[in-house]
Amino acid sequence: MVAEQVIARARELKASFGVKCSKFSGAVSVELVRAALAAAGIPTSSRDVFVRGVPVEVDLIIPHRAQEAILGVLYEPHQVAAALEIKNSGSFGTATIEKVTSDFGRLREVGIACAYLTLEERRGFRWAVSSERIGYPCFTLGWHKATGGPFEATAEWDQLVLFLENCRGKGNAS
């Protein structure tokens, strides 16, 4: 149910914007995921945050319990349970795969678990990001055959929530 709602709302908001804008689509995707995670009891950062010593922007951070970011945007590595890269409609080539893999490698070096989430992806797309391709957990909320066409929701939302709960369980219990 969550996957269908998130995808439908993202599509609705993108269409209502009036013109194609990938930055808007990305922002909407992150905000919808934030709201859905909050409803599942998983607190998140604001979007587009940073981890001290890691020169990459992170779409969304899942902090350990009772952790606050400096000015709402800067976390210390020990404060972070997991980092999420969130895409609206998946990967568009090797550049995306290489960047996600590189960014996750930098975050891993400071002990942060990472995961990739796309709202939608074309089933069987040769550039789709996958766990096998990047070496990190990947989750897809829906598959489609054509962008904007009918989609088939997956059961991966529950898997993402479980992954994040497990990451948080390793952290501070305070």
Residues 93-126 have pLDDT tens digits of 788 899 999 999 999 999 999 999 999 988 777 7
Beta bridge partners of 117: 86, 139
Q: For residue 42, what is the domain's CATH number?
A: 3.40.1350
- Residue 17: φ, ψ to 5°: -65, -30
Share of the chain above pLDDT 70, in %: 97
Contacts of 41 by beta carbon, 8 Å cutoff, 6+ apart: none
pTM beyond cutoff 0.85: yes
Does a structural domain hold residue 100? yes
Beta bridge partners of 122: 144
Does a structural domain hold residue 174? no
The domain in which residue 130 lies consists of: 2-169
Contacts of 13 by beta carbon, 8 Å cutoff, 6+ apart: 28
Residue 104: Cβ-neighbour burial (10 angstroms; 0-12, 13-18, 19+): buried
Domain count, the chain: 1
Does a structural domain hold residue 25? yes
Does a structural domain hold residue 21? yes
Query: What is the per-residue pLDDT across 10-29, written as a single tens digit (0 to 9) for each?
Result: 999 999 999 999 999 999 99
Does a structural domain hold residue 43? yes
